[in-house]
Copies of this chain bind each other. A is one copy, B any other.
Amino acid sequence: MQDDPLPSWQDTATRAAIVAFVEAAAGDGAGHVAPQERVAVFDNDGTLWCEKPIPIQLDFVLRRFAAMAQDNPALRGRQPWKAAREHDGAWLSGALVKHYDGDDADLRLLLGGVLEAFGEMTVDAYAEEVAAFLATASHPSLKRPYRACAFRPMVELLRYLEGHGFATYIASGGDRDFMRPAAEALYAIPRERVIGSSFALRYDAPTGSGGAGGAVVYKRGLDFLDDGPEKPVRIWSRVGRRPLVAVGNSNGDVPMLEFAGGAELPALRLVLRHDDAEREFAYDDGAEQVLARVARGAQDGWHAISMRDDWADVFGDAPGPS
């Protein structure tokens, strides 16, 4: 067992399916796939790290809103600053749940607040704020730093895939520039392999006489939301290929999971099921469609990962095999 590349995984049929696919793709026999086609894409929130009770980026944003409302009383009666100041989790989580039901009104209010909070900031200053947040902030109920909220089995899977010649990418609805510092620190995925939603950006030419410098700055607008059918579009735009392996956990991941493989390529489509109230959380909300799809069976490479049954360890706290 000491050479086991997936020590946090139980010896289950799910693990066996993953290993069989990856070994075949990297092998010389049936199922071989050329190295350049070995692309794996991972959703982030709820797939690589914990997304409950609220997505980690939302906590980052709410702290910023609360600080803004502290400085500016006129914001205190307006959403989303009101909810942030009053710790109104119901309004906030409702905005996300309603989005998955097709009602984006509250999500747009929330986004409007985000644009107000970060518009006109340089990308460099934003990256520093994110890094400072990740260095200090903790999960409210798991009582662990956010930087320790990555799922250990998924990090092992990333390394296992890379060890078999796969290029690994994050393809998430989260904000690309928020995820980049986290991806480097928690998953060792470099920033050029992070695909996500993006605020609109502009380039400000240098003002000095040197003729060198200039800055990229967030405009007060969204460029695109990388979720649902936008995920295959953004994966293609960035990678120029279909993924061979796609890993997600929510309804917004269905198109990305479908898009994997192709006429001449196999696919491994993994859906993480949050069914572990003891070690993490148990919930299906926002995942009804993708869970229904994966429940139809393993044809076309669809597999559920049960956090409860397939993972020996969730966050890397359990004593390892001796």
* Interchain CA distance A237-B175 in the complex, whole Å: 11
Per-residue B-contact encoding for A69-97, CB less than 8 Å = 1, 0 else: 00000000000000000000000000000
Expressed in whole angstroms, the minimum distance between the Cβ of A183 and any Cβ of chain B is: 10
| CB pair B203 A237 closer than 8 Å | no
Band of interface residues on A: 35 or more
Cβ B236 vs Cβ A123 within 8 A: yes
B201 touches A237 (CB 8 A): yes
- The reply to whether B240 and A194 contact each other, CB–CB distance below 8 Å, is yes
How many monomers of this chain does the complex have?
2
Interface-lining segment among A42-50, A108-116, A147-155, A256-264: A256-264
Chain B CB within 10 A, most for which of A198, A212, A213: A212
Q: Does residue A140 face the partner (Cβ distance < 8 Å to B)?
A: no
Are A233's CB and B202's CB within 8 A? Answer: yes
Interface residues of A in 256-291 (CB under 8 A from B): 258-263, 267, 269
- A255 near B216 with CB under 8 A, answer no
Alpha-carbon distance A272/B260, docked complex (angstroms) = 41
A39 to chain B, nearest CB (A): 8
**What is the 8 Å Cβ interface bit string for chain A, positions 166-206, against chain B (1 contact, 0 not)?**
01000000001100100000000011101000100111011
A268 CB to nearest chain B CB (Å): 11
Docked pose: A112 CA to B12 CA in angstroms:
55
- Given A206-B258, A233-B202, A300-B238 contact (CB < 8 Å): no
Cross-chain pairs A/B with CB under 8 angstroms, 27 sampled: A36-B190, A180-B240, A191-B240, A192-B239, A192-B240, A192-B241, A194-B240, A201-B237, A203-B229, A203-B230, A203-B231, A203-B232, A203-B259, A205-B255, A210-B299, A211-B258, A212-B261, A213-B258, A213-B262, A213-B263, A214-B232, A214-B258, A214-B259, A216-B233, A216-B236, A216-B259, A238-B238
Interface residues in chain A, defined as those with a beta carbon under 8 Å from any beta carbon in chain B: 36, 123, 167, 176-177, 180, 190-192, 194, 198, 201-203, 205-206, 210-214, 216, 229-233, 236-241, 255, 258-263, 267, 269, 293, 296, 299-302
